[in-house]
């Protein structure tokens, strides 16, 4: 049996930009997890454990996100190039 842990933190850099950091720790206490013993009858390694699974593993991740705020009110955009609005619903900010 192993002990795993995940930590997450979200930080607002500006009003529209957020930085998320995540750390995942597998086999946090670094206990030995042995593989199954040899099972070939008559072999030299029959009944003995000769290997173990990997020890502690740590994984870190970071993400920088920018939220696009779109008003629910119709607006006029004057530009020479065609404009396509993909998401016309305002997004809620997660905390």
Give the Cβ contact number of residue 73 at 10 Å. 6
| Nearest-angstrom CA–CA distance, 87 and 23 | 31
User: pLDDT tens for residues 38-47?
Assistant: 888 888 888 8
CA 56 from chain centre, in angstroms, equals 17
pLDDT (0 to 100) of residue 92: 52
| Nearest-angstrom CA–CA distance, 91 and 71 | 9
**Domains of the chain, residue spans:** 1-95
User: pLDDT tens for residues 1-30?
Assistant: 788 999 999 999 988 889 999 999 998 888
pTM for this model (two decimals): 0.54
Vertex 69: Cα angle to 9 and 84 (nearest 5): 130
User: pLDDT tens for residues 58-85?
Assistant: 999 999 998 776 655 554 444 444 444 4
| Nearest-angstrom CA–CA distance, 83 and 95 | 31
Who wins on pLDDT, 93 or 35?
35
Residue 8 in tokens = 């997450």
């Amino acid at each position: 049996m192993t002990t795993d842990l995940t930590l997450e933190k979200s930080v607002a850099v500006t009003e529209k930009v957020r930085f998320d950091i995540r750390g995942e720790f597998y086999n946090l206490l670094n206990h030995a997890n042995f593989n199954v013993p040899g099972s070939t009858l008559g072999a030299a390694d029959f009944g003995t454990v000769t290997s173990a699974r990997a020890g502690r593993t740590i994984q870190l991740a970071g993400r920088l996100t920018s939220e696009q705020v779109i008003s629910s009110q119709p607006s006029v955009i004057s530009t020479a190039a065609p404009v396509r609005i993909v998401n016309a619903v305002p997004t809620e900010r997660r905390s």
